A and B are shown apart, each in its own frame.
Chain A
Amino acid sequence: GQQLNQSPQSMFIQEGEDVSMNCTSSSIFNTWLWYKQDPGEGPVLLIALYKAGELTSNGRLTAQFGITRKDSFLNISASIPSDVGIYFCAGPSTMKTSYDKVIFGPGTSLSVIP
């Protein structure tokens, strides 16, 4: 089945620094989703991308849908302590037998040092 890979696995940054993380796959996706999970909570959708090359912002967060359709990037500018959490990329499967399934990557864990 389709799989998503995320890098880095974890990050420790100083408050105020910018953050970049990415998500890759060996197969194409038609939609890319970025979720954030706060400690002890369920994931919450941050940004959804629907078109190759699309660049979308949500406050200090910016995400891009890669031109090849096999990757996506998430940037966070001027990090603050509440950015701590796990960031997941996800996408609806493009396999004919699995159109209803949403696949998640393993996540990038972000720690912000005040």
Chain B
Amino acid sequence: NAGVTQTPKFQVLKTGQSMTLQCAQDMNHEYMSWYRQDPGMGLRLIHYSVGAGITDQGEVPNGYNVSRSTTEDFPLRLLSAAPSQTSVYFCASREQNYNEQFFGPGTRLTVL
């Protein structure tokens, strides 16, 4: 099993550009989440999904869109990148009835 994979590992964008961060898991987990990590702020939940076709907002959803068309994939879209979105982004997945989340290796995004 590859676990949770994320692409790309690094990305530099200009203000106003759009892009999609990819996340996939091969563990057949129902739940998937996107977090951003900033120094001293811990991990803040952006969006999450409890199954294919179902998504909901987390603590900091503004400027991000998600969709969940399959169990395996949960892409995160930045519609118009802003410098405030410079961060490290982590995707995570877990089974419905278990609390252990499995995290991907992260995407380091810089917006100039």
Residues in chain A within 8 A of chain B (CB atoms): 1, 4, 6, 9, 31, 33, 40-45, 48, 88, 90, 92, 100-107
Contact = CB atoms under 8 A, between A and B. Distances in A.
A101 B48 contact: yes
Interface in B1-38: 4, 31, 33, 35
Interface string B37-63: 000111111001010000010110000
- The 8 A-B residue pairs with the shortest CB-CB distance, nearest first, are A42-B103, A106-B42, A104-B43, A104-B42, A45-B100, A43-B103, A107-B42, A42-B90
Contacts of A31: 99
Interface in B59-111: 59, 90, 92, 99-101, 103-106
Nearest to A48: B99
Interface of B: 4, 31, 33, 35, 40-45, 48, 50, 56, 58-59, 90, 92, 99-101, 103-106
Contacts of B90: 42-43
A100 to B, nearest CB: 6
A44 B44 CA distance: 16
A31 B4 CA distance: 23
B40 A9 contact: yes
A6 B59 CA distance: 19
Contact of A1 (B33, B41, B59, B106): B59
A42 B106 contact: yes
22 contacts: A4-B42, A31-B99, A40-B106, A41-B105, A41-B106, A42-B4, A42-B90, A42-B103, A43-B43, A43-B101, A48-B99, A90-B43, A100-B31, A100-B48, A100-B50, A100-B56, A101-B48, A101-B58, A102-B99, A104-B44, A106-B40, A106-B41
Given A100-B31, A101-B48, A101-B58, A45 B101 contact: yes
B45 A44 contact: no
Contacts of B31: 100
Contacts of B45: 101-103
Nearest to B90: A42
A48 B98 CA distance: 10
A42 B99 contact: no
